[in-house]
Structures are given as C-alpha cells and as structure tokens.
Chain A
Amino acid sequence: MSSLPPLSRIASVLVGIAIVVTTLAMPGRARADDADAGMRERLAGCAVCHGDRGQGAHGAEYFPHLAGKPAGYLLEQMRAFRDGKRHYAQMIYLMQYLDDAWLAEVADWYAAQPPIVKQAESGTPMREVDVARARQLVFDGDPAKGLTACSACHGRALAGLEPGVPALVGLPTEYIIAQFGGWITGVRQSTVPDCMASIARKLEPTDLRIVATWLSRQAAPDGERPAAAGTRALPLACGDLPVEAAR
C-alpha cells in the first residue's frame, strides 16, 4: 500500500467510501421504491377510476382525484362507504371488509402523492352574472341565506385544510353536483353536525349548478397542498373534522 502514489491512495479511499455509501444508501432507496411499487400494485383496483397515483384516470373523469387530499378526509370517506354513511355501490362493495389500519395506510399514501396540476377550463362560457354569483358564494357566502363562503373552510386557494377539508379544485361539475344531491337526499352523510348537508339544503338549485360549474373550471396551477391543520379557524362546527381523535 505504501508503494502507491498518494493521489491513487486518496482516489482508492474515495472510491471505497463511494462504494460503501452507495451500498448503504441503495437498500434504503430501493426499499422506498419497493414500498411505493408495492402500494401501487396493491391499489391496482383503485387505479381504474382514480388513477395510478390517485391523480384521476382518462376515461373515468367523473370520479374524483385522491392525490394530495388530506389523509383524514380520505380515511373518513372510505370509512363512510364501509359503514353505511356514504352510498355508492362500487365503493361500498370494495371497502366493506377492510379495517381501519389498512384504510389509514391507503389514505396516507394517496395524501402523500403530488396534488394534481390542472389548467383552467373554459367549456361553454359562463354568463358574467353567473361568474359573479359563483365568486360571491365561494369567497363571501350569502349571509342572508345562511350560507358560509366555501373559502372559509376550503381556503382561498380552495386547496383544502388538514386533516379533514378537501380541495375543491380539480373536480368535474358532474361529481360536485352529485355530492350536493347526496347531501340533500342523505345518500352522503357525515357525523352530526353534518355541515355540508346543511349548506347543500340551503343552496338554490340554480346557485348549486353555478358554483359547481365555476369550481370545476378553476385552475390548480402549482399543485398546492392542503393548508396545515390549525392554520384557519373554521366558522362551522363539522362533525367529521376532529378526525385525528377518532382514529
């Protein structure tokens, strides 16, 4: 060894270190990759409608995206399907024999995926008066009708709030309208006080369509994540929100 020139010695030490570091680091990264691949494989049944990473799927645009939504919200929805609070046959069928531990892991995985990035959609142009009404309902509410602004809970960027308030951008009109219908008829329920049900029942049918259409056309330009828990005080008591305590 002493016969080797100093530079080569340094080089061999460096190569040695590099090999050790790589071998130490690889299993960690490989493990993470394996875990990610393992989850994607296990969740193949979800991907058909919700996309490989919950970002939505082509040909299945009606179904909501899951990526980047608050884990507490996702868990609560899966439990609601399982426990008879939210009624959609396909989801009930798939969720009904899954326990909380697995549903929580699934919720955490989808929550950790990058939120969807989406350009604004134009579609058939909305009338200016409807856009103004939609913006009023979303950002100011309609106190005379007892309607709180959407943004009061879902945030000005409409990206949601941990742990239980989902983003409102990136959902199709049809899906949003269907949810309002579900709250009005009781097909979709939350723990009492069911704030979304009470809001849905106060919305005029025309307002409901205007808000749903406007929301579905908003851009989600930079994949904004839900705001951290506790960064906003909610103006409404909602039964599902202290999800962490319920877990």
Chain B
Amino acid sequence: MKASTKLRLLKLAILFPFVALAAVIGGVLFQAQGGFAALRVPHGDATPLATDAATLAHGEYLARLGNCVTCHTTRGGTPYAGGRAFRSGYGTLYSTNLTPDATTGLGDWSLAEFRHAMREGASREGLLYPAFPFDHFKRLTDEDLAALFAFLRQLPAVDAPRTPNALDFPASSRRLLLAWRMLFHRPHPFTPEPSQSEAWNRGRYLVDGLGHCAMCHSGRGAMASLPADRYLAGGRILGQNWYAPPLDTNSLARWSVDDLAGYLRHGVSTHGAAYGPMAEVIYVSLRHLRKDDAAAMATYLKTVPAAPAPVMSATERDLRQRHAAGRVVGTAGRRLYAEHCESCHGDDGRGRGLDYPPLAGNPHVVADDAVNSIRLVLAGGIPPTTPGNPRPHSMPPFSQVLDDAQIADVLNHVRSSWGNEATAIAPGDVRALRGSTLD
C-alpha cells in the first residue's frame, strides 16, 4: 500500500465517527420534527365535504376563534383572500388566499391536504413558514378540522394570486426550513388531562389550539422559536412594536374567571382594556366567543404556571434598583399626571370601572418593556366595539401635546406610584416610538 493511500484511509478513519455522529444526530432531529410523514403531503381524498347548516355554522365559529381572517385579509380587502404583509427581521411574508378559488386559493385542495397543512406545516408548496401556527393547529380534532375546511370551501371564491414573499436568505428557502424544524419544531400530541375539569381541558384546547395565544404571549427564543420554558411568559410580539403580557397564575391572580372571560368577549374589564393587537383579536375573533368557551379559556389560563423569572446577578439587581423609575421621577411627572391623566385614571391610579383602566399594578404599565404605555400616551387608544361594550371610551393621543421628556416624566411617575416599581424610561425611549403608530 502506498503511503498516500494509507494517509487517506487514516483520514477517513478519523473522520468516520464524526460523520456517523452527525448522521445520527441529524436522524434524531429529523425524526423529532415529525420525520418523513410530515413531509409526505397527501393529495387525492374523496371524503365529501359536509354542507349542512350545523357543520358550516360550527366551522364559521371555529374560523372566528382561530382568527384566520385577521392574518389572511388585507385592510379593506376581501375576507380570507390573503395578502397581508408580516414584517420581521427575516423580511416580509405575505399570507395566502383561503377562499376556494381553484388556482389561487384552496379550491383544488382535499380535506387530507388541508389537515396535513394545519397539523404538519407542509403543503404542495413545500414546508410552511412557522408564522402559520401549525404547531398549535396540530391539536385540533378531526371533526373540527373538517368543519373548518367545509366552512372555508363554501366562501365566495376570489381570484387573488399570492404576493411573493420578500424574505432574506436563508429564510427565503423553504427547503432550509427543514433545518429550522429539526432545531425547534417539536410536535407533541394533545392528550386530555383527566385530573382537570372538562372546562379546563376545553380551555387548554382553545388556548393552545385555535386560539394560538402563545404566538404573541410566549417569549421568543433563537430564530423566532417558541421555547417551552417561555410558554405564555410574555414578551415583545414578533415584528411589532407591542408587548404581550404574561398569561399565568401569578399575572392573572387578581382576575376572577368571570373577569377574564368577560374581558375576552367585551374588550374591557376593571383590570384593564384591550388596545393594539389584542383589540384586533377581540374585535375580529373573541367577541364571538361563546360564554362557556370564554370561561373555559379563563379557567385554563389562570392555572398556567409562571415561567421562572430570569436569574439576575447582584450587579444586575443593583443596576435595576438604580434605574428604578422612583429614583428619577420629579415633581414634573406628578404635575403632568394631575393635569392630563388624573380625571380619568384617578389620583389613586385605579381608573374608573369599565371606562378607564387602572394603572396601579397594571402589567402593561409596570412591564420592563414600556412600549405599550409609551405608545398609548403618544397615540391614544380606543378599545374595540363589542356587544358588551358597544360605545367605548377613548384615551386621547398626547403626541402633539407633550414632548418626549414630559412623556417620560409622566410615565416614570406612573411607573413608580401606588406600589408600582418599574424601571425608569428615558426621553429617547419615547422618541424612538414616535411615528410607529401602526407598527
């Protein structure tokens, strides 16, 4: 044997364990994301679609709970015809046409393909971007999926060709989504919890399934993933300048099940009102929620264990204390509050019934991420009209009344009064959000 051949064999022998290990890890991860079954998209399916009124009404209710129309419609556009833009650090993604048009919509789809897309996140297009919450829709029962599809298939067909996505590499490649899935997608079957009540199980089915609450209310991990340990732990909504508060047993402690169920359907409560993306969710989706389903969601949400608080070093704790709003607030903030805020929110920060939300202990107000309070002061806000609150009160925009420093002053007063102990915000934080009225 020649020396060079020997060397080559030696190299192979050294490399082999690494290659084998990579293959094994790859195989395990591939299985973990759903294996080949997830990638095998079924086509033909002769299952006839239900057309009876009861199934269609059920399908419509499910479509509303899933809030399909919000993502799959442009402002003022034909409902379900797609085209809404979703911007993130990866570029812009456009939603697709769900109407039964044969070439641009779901007209040519079978129930089996719909079910596969909803559960596995793969269709004839290839792998679907996880902006589509298939990880949640996986939990839907066969009956619910069939009713939902039957409802979508009887919508008026609209010829609405898709807007091509404008994503940056590597997000632009659907094939490379497999790598993302291998790293982050961990489908697990939905199994009822027999030790919990029927309402609790129904609530979890709605929250984790159609409701896909975690898409906004969970903390995001690497590459926009949703790590299990940040489940409903709150955080900045992907691609939006809005903060979604945590939904767990601690953060919802002062809400009774009735309070929370009422808020979901009416958009207002004595603990807070819905603005921004939650106003949209309620206006389009949750105001149609049946009373028992609202109570079920509230029942479940109130039992979600709080995610562990991030561990802070002594230095971080010290820094945080030195940045407490209470240490920077002066008389200006108190004066501005008395002049502009007190008549609605009260000198005790407790608001007024369903009309004006409390600021004391309000999770949006005391969150480290002050984006919601800053935006509400800048642009004002009106909770959505709902059957339970058809004539909403409104918060005035202060963008032209107060300057950045004044808004920081008044918010630092709010963030350090009535037991609130939040960090201080600076005029620059306010300046950064001027103009982001619709983001």
A residues engaging B (CB < 8 A)? 41-49, 59-60, 82-85, 89-90, 92-94, 96-99, 101-102, 105
| Cβ–Cβ contact A101 & B379, under 8 A | no
B residues engaging A (CB < 8 A)? 74-77, 279-280, 282-283, 344, 355, 379-385, 390-401, 435, 437-438
Write the chain A residue with the least CB distance to B435.
A89
Q: What's the Cα separation between A221 and B327 when bound, in Å?
A: 55
Residue in contact with A97 in the complex, picked from B283, B344, B393, B395, CB distance below 8 Å: B283
| Cβ–Cβ contact A42 & B392, under 8 A | yes
Given contacts A89-B438, A94-B380, 15 further A-B contacts (CB under 8 A): A41-B393, A42-B393, A45-B396, A46-B394, A47-B396, A48-B380, A93-B437, A94-B382, A94-B394, A97-B279, A97-B383, A97-B385, A98-B392, A99-B283, A99-B385
| Cβ–Cβ contact B379 & A93, under 8 A | yes
B residues in contact with A83, CB < 8 Å: 75-76
Q: What's the Cα separation between A46 and B379 when bound, in Å?
A: 11
**Could you tell me the distance in whole angstroms from the C-beta of A232 to the nearest C-beta in chain B?**
30
| Cβ–Cβ contact A44 & B394, under 8 A | yes
| Cβ–Cβ contact A60 & B390, under 8 A | no
Write the chain A residue with the least CB distance to B74.
A84
| Cβ–Cβ contact B77 & A105, under 8 A | no
Write the chain A residue with the least CB distance to B280.
A97
Write the chain B residue with the least CB distance to A38.
B391
**Could you tell me the distance in whole angstroms from the C-beta of B299 to the nearest C-beta in chain A?**
26
Given A97-B280, A97-B384: A102 touches B391 (CB 8 Å cut-off): yes
| Cβ–Cβ contact B391 & A44, under 8 A | no
Write the chain A residue with the least CB distance to B393.
A42
Q: What's the Cα separation between A43 and B282 when bound, in Å?
A: 21
| Cβ–Cβ contact A42 & B391, under 8 A | yes
Write the chain B residue with the least CB distance to A94.
B382
| Cβ–Cβ contact A102 & B396, under 8 A | no
Write the chain A residue with the least CB distance to B378.
A90
Give the interface centre of A43, A60, A83, A94 by most chain B CB atoms within 10 Å: A94
B residues in contact with A44, CB < 8 Å: 344, 393-396
Given A44-B393, A44-B396, A46-B394: A102 touches B385 (CB 8 Å cut-off): yes
B residues in contact with A47, CB < 8 Å: 396
| Cβ–Cβ contact A97 & B438, under 8 A | no
**Could you tell me the distance in whole angstroms from the C-beta of B79 to the nearest C-beta in chain A?**
12
Write the chain B residue with the least CB distance to A100.
B385
A residues in contact with B383, CB < 8 Å: 97
A residues in contact with B381, CB < 8 Å: 45, 94
**Could you tell me the distance in whole angstroms from the C-beta of B64 to the nearest C-beta in chain A?**
15
| Cβ–Cβ contact A97 & B437, under 8 A | no
A residues in contact with B437, CB < 8 Å: 89-90, 92-93
Q: What's the Cα separation between A78 and B335 when bound, in Å?
A: 35
B residues in contact with A60, CB < 8 Å: 400
| Cβ–Cβ contact B392 & A102, under 8 A | yes
**Could you tell me the distance in whole angstroms from the C-beta of A246 to the nearest C-beta in chain B?**
14
Given A84-B77, A102-B391: A45 touches B397 (CB 8 Å cut-off): yes
| Cβ–Cβ contact B76 & A48, under 8 A | no
B residues in contact with A84, CB < 8 Å: 74-77
Give the interface centre of A48, A84, A85, A92 by most chain B CB atoms within 10 Å: A48
Given A42-B393, A97-B279, A101-B390: A48 touches B398 (CB 8 Å cut-off): yes
For this complex, 15 residue pairs linking A to B, each with C-beta atoms less than 8 Å apart, are A44-B394, A44-B395, A45-B394, A48-B380, A59-B401, A60-B400, A84-B74, A92-B438, A94-B394, A96-B280, A97-B384, A97-B385, A98-B385, A98-B392, A102-B392
Q: What's the Cα separation between A99 and B400 when bound, in Å?
A: 27
Write the chain B residue with the least CB distance to A43.
B394
The 3 closest A-B pairs by CB, nearest first: A45-B394, A84-B76, A84-B75
Q: What's the Cα separation between A105 and B384 when bound, in Å?
A: 15
Write the chain B residue with the least CB distance to A41.
B393
Q: What's the Cα separation between A141 and B397 when bound, in Å?
A: 40
B residues in contact with A89, CB < 8 Å: 435, 437-438
| Cβ–Cβ contact B396 & A48, under 8 A | yes
